[in-house]
Structure 1
Amino acid sequence: MHIRALRPDEAPALLAIFRAAVRVTAARDYAPEQIEAWSPAQWPPAQCERWIERVRALHPFVADIDGVAAGYADLQDDGLIDHFYVSPDFARRGVGAALMAHLLALARERGLRVVHSNVSRTAQPFFTRFGFDIVAQQRPVVRGVEVPNARMRAVLAEPEDRR
């Protein structure tokens, strides 16, 4: 597995990962109407294009297994992890762990003291394993439907030479 920057032509593959992660992986923790609001079964082409452009602007990192995008995640300058998704086809194969290790190392390199994210019910145990704590339960409304998540954050230890 290799973690790398998004290639210009592969953002549509990330849309497929996002959609599968929501519609398959998260389906065990959310009601069908919540899943449909989060990632509708049918997306008009214009909506797909807006999503792709937004994700490109996040400058995500891709977990690549034998030339296939298995998952992706980003780290913004303020420490926000906006997207973190793994394809259900690659679940339980270390993809999420590799992405998170990459993001946390990058955060430390950038001198960030805190990283944070709005984390689905499905991903909360995973984020907890990497030192994130729940700061607040949230009830965002997406397309008129409440899709609960948690605001989570991790405080990063300072490097040994800075103490």
Structure 2
Amino acid sequence: MTTYASGKIQTRWATLDDLPALKTLINRSIDALQVGFLSPEQIIASHAVMGLDTQLVEDGSYLVAEYDGVLAGCGGWSKRATLYGGDHSRDLRDPLLLDPERDPARIRAMYTDPDFTRKGIGRLLLQQCEQAAADNGFKTAELMATLSGEPLYIASGYHPLERVEAIGNGANVPLIRMQKILQP
């Protein structure tokens, strides 16, 4: 297990034992951090198109962040074609392995617990995921951002490629596909 530290934040690669706590954190994050960006119906719909993809944990590419020992955030990167979506959104998932020479790595399932926003957790997870992708030969990274996540990604060097809408439970959820050139 590799552990990184940045102030009071420690990160490590997630294990299957982390799944129950991660699912709770993700649900709290969706419910609280989308307020002001999405309608209540869109927030409910977000649960149908977002969430934890356990393939990331199984691939060893999903990080958890702890702030003073408390689970505070999570996020991962992937060498698979799936751009976004959780275990329950099977129509969005594609396990095809990407070619680092021509395909962008995927930054996936980035969530911060609402009690721990504005502490650098999201930025640290994003940087470590980008570094891991670069270490695996990827030259670019791509992600599907929520409206609430877009400012972090822009500040981190991502640029929008397209705005799309995912449909969950009959409601449209606005998303932004973004990309960044990684530093070797």
Report the TM-score range of the alignment, normalised by the length of the smaller protein. Answer: 0.7 to 0.9
Deviation at 1:65, TM superposition (A): 2.0
TM-score normalized with structure 1 length: 0.84
TM-score normalized with structure 2 length: 0.75
Distance in structure 2 (CA, Å) of the matches to 1:10 and 1:111: 28
The amino acid of 2:109's aligned partner reads H
- Unaligned segments of structure 2, at least 5 residues: 1-8, 80-97, 99-104
- Runs of 4+, deviation exceeding 3 Å: none
Distance in structure 2 (CA, Å) of the matches to 1:141 and 1:127: 23
Matched, 1:35 2:61: no
Q: What RMSD over aligned residues (CA atoms) do the two structures have, in Å?
A: 1.5
Question: Residues 110-136 of structure 1, C-alpha deviation per residue, up to 9 Å, x if partnerless?
Answer: 111111111000000100111100000
Question: Residues 7-53 of structure 1, C-alpha deviation per residue, up to 9 Å, x if partnerless?
Answer: 3222111111111111101111000100011138xxxxxxxxxx6xx
**2:134 alignment counterpart:** 108
The amino acid of 2:125's aligned partner reads L
Q: Which has the larger radius of gyration?
A: 1
1:111-150 to 2 correspondence within 5 Å?
Answer: 111-150=137-176
Higher strand fraction (1 or 2): 2
**2:66 alignment counterpart:** 64
The amino acid of 1:37's aligned partner reads A
Distance in structure 1 (CA, Å) of the matches to 2:44 and 2:126: 27
Secondary structure of residue in 1 paired with 2:148? coil
Distance in structure 2 (CA, Å) of the matches to 1:108 and 1:75: 10
The amino acid of 1:153's aligned partner reads Q
Contact 1:2/1:64 (8 A) holds in 2: yes
Distance in structure 2 (CA, Å) of the matches to 1:122 and 1:143: 20
Secondary structure of residue in 2 paired with 1:29? coil
Q: After the TM superposition, which of the residue ranges 22-31 and 60-69 deviates more from structure 2?
A: 60-69
Secondary structure of residue in 1 paired with 2:134? helix
- Unaligned segments of structure 1, at least 5 residues: 41-50
Contact 1:71/1:87 (8 A) holds in 2: yes
Higher helix fraction (1 or 2): 1
**2:31 alignment counterpart:** 23
Identity of aligned residues (%): 26
Contact 2:78/2:133 (8 A) holds in 1: no
Q: How many matched pairs?
A: 146
Question: Residues 35-77 of structure 1, C-alpha deviation per residue, up to 9 Å, x if partnerless?
Answer: 011138xxxxxxxxxx6xx632212110122332110001001
**2:93 alignment counterpart:** none
